[in-house]
Structure formats: structure tokens, C-alpha cells
Amino acid sequence: MAKSYYDPADLRKFGKITEWSEELGNKFFDYYGKVFEEGALSAREKSLIALAVSHVVKCPYCIDAYTKDGLQRGITKEEMMEAVHAGAAIESGATLVHGVQMMNKYDKLSM
């Protein structure tokens, strides 16, 4: 067994998850592939969304994959970093908006 939880080489083995559950694995990869096709959003736009979400869910495999995908699509580093900030802003906003709950509770409990 590896001594660390994340091994970059494991990303290449992602497809192997179908080996232990073929039907669900295949359904997932079909869905995944379909999601990233050109649609109302361009594949380029979806790549940037995926990069932002990769950071928010803190998935090192996804960050590797979508940084490379962005490079392949000619997405600039400035565009990539802005996408990461968009994700980070929502994530920190999600934390801060709970401040309202805190304020509500505080006010309710206080005389």
C-alpha cells in the first residue's frame, strides 16, 4: 500500500472504477463525457468551471486534470486564476453568509 493518500499516477487508473461496478461506472463516465461536450456552454467555458470547482472541492486529481485541459485549450493562466478566485469567492461567501445566522441567533438569545 502507498504511504500517501494521493498518488498522481492514480489519476490514470480512474477508469478502473468500472471494474468493480461496471454498470454504475459506465453510466458515470457516459454522463461525465456528455456533460463536457459543446452545448449551450462551450467546452472551453466548462473547462474553466471544472477548474474552479476542482479547487473548491479540493481534488488534487481534478486540479491536475483541468490545468492540463486548460493548457490544451489555450486557456491563459490569467483566465485560470480568475476562475479559481470565482470558486474561492463563492466558497468564502458561503462561509460568511452563515454570519447572518450567527447574528440572528445572537440577537435571539440576547436580551
| Residue ranges that bind another protein, judged by CB under 8 A | 8, 12, 43-44, 68, 71-74, 76
86 CB-side CA count, 13 A:
13
Residue 108 CB, shortest distance to another protein, in Å, is 53
Contact of 86 with 94, CB cutoff 8 Å:
no
Minimum distance between the CB of residue 73 and another protein, rounded to whole angstroms?
A: 4
> Quick one: how many helices (H) and strands (E) in the chain?
4, 0
Closer residue to another protein in complex, CB, 32/106: 32
CB of 24 to another protein, least distance (A): 22
Shorter beta-carbon distance to another protein: residue 52 or 69: 69
Q: Which CB sits closer to another protein, 69 or 87?
A: 69
